[in-house]
Structure 1
């Protein structure tokens, strides 16, 4: 078995002097006898990570808009459900529930939906990572780490919960202001 290569496509050169790095790079890039290209790995990796940072920020922006649309949809559903549940709210008030308790009930429903959405999203994420990890490792040689959420992700999830709570206050305040007779008197 001949281990002699047909051609050399890459060479790693280590220099003793950092100052000579740019001189050697310019010499290799300007070499007229053979088309060569000198690449500084640190600079190339920095450019790659800065490009990935732009893509990460774009995806964060898209996901922010998705969350906003989801919160608006949840608000619309809660308000529509509040209209349909006027009679239920009136009966709760009639049996002794205070407006504050009914508001707390509506806010807790919204927070429960938000927590359930987070739990389902996290479960789907970790299931996808678990399934994709060996495939990506085998085909591309990239290891996908499965780790618990970091501080940045925890902060984003906390912001989502705070936004869901803020959205839940709108139907809660509307239910708080609704009179007892409003739900008991049939609408014609």
Structure 2
């Protein structure tokens, strides 16, 4: 059994899920059950000095010698060695993950487009039920342009409320599950969603919603003109 001597500060990397032990401990883990039983009774009864080391992590004082050292290790004639740069390997991994990230981004755009079409369809369906309301507004002196603007304002209010609710719900969820995500999966997310990137996304969504709502707004504009002509006739 191992005795915990200390807990390192979280780094947000896979290192947080590792246990750091000596090479002798690694050798003892791979002993046969009989030798492990002897080792528990007497630590010095079994030789736990490792005969070989399969991997070593090196740190260099000068970064300029990194590629030279990698080439020297790979060209070492006395033994078959291979030097790997963790940064390069991680970059290749993230390049592979970029495809999944782009796929998720496309799915998000499709969800946004379908939501905008749903908003436009809802407003168009409501126009048929609002003919009497539009006629009343025309009697009260509201012009077709004013009714056009009212529909756009309605869509704008819906988008602003939906964006505020989504941002608040996401921030609250990250705040509640932040510690659990960090401890379980090593994911450290910022619960503060009020940043420049989020504001840009909300702005794009708002502009797209206004453009999409122009179709039902124009329908309301035409209904207002017809109501006016009907009143005159």
- Under TM normalisation by the shorter chain, which class is it? 0.7 to 0.9
How far off is 1:106 after superposition? 0.6
For structure 2, the 5+ residue unaligned runs are: 3-21, 28-52
How far off is 1:31 after superposition? 4.8
Distance 1:25 1:83 in 2: 77
Q: Is the 8 A contact 1:107 1:165 kept in 2?
A: yes
Distance 1:139 1:161 in 2: 36
Q: Is the 8 A contact 2:138 2:228 kept in 1?
A: no
User: For each residue in 1:52-100, what CA deviation from the matched residue of structure 2 results, as whole angstroms up to 9, or x when unmatched?
Assistant: 3332222111111100000001100000001111111111111211111
Higher Cα Rg: structure 1 or 2? 2
Q: Please say if 1:134 is aligned against 2:134.
A: no
CA RMSD of aligned residues (A): 2.6
Q: Is the 8 A contact 1:136 1:142 kept in 2?
A: yes
Change (3 A) 1:9 1:84: farther
Q: Please say if 1:80 is aligned against 2:125.
A: yes
1:26 to 64, 68, 74: 74
For structure 1, the 5+ residue unaligned runs are: none
How far off is 1:48 after superposition? 2.6
Higher relative contact order (CA 8 A, sep 6+): 1
- Paired residue total: 180
How far off is 1:155 after superposition? 1.7
2:151 to 106, 109, 113: 106
* Structure 1 segments (4+ residues) deviating >6 Å: none
Distance 1:76 1:25 in 2: 65
Compare 151-160 and 115-124 and name the one that shifted more: 151-160
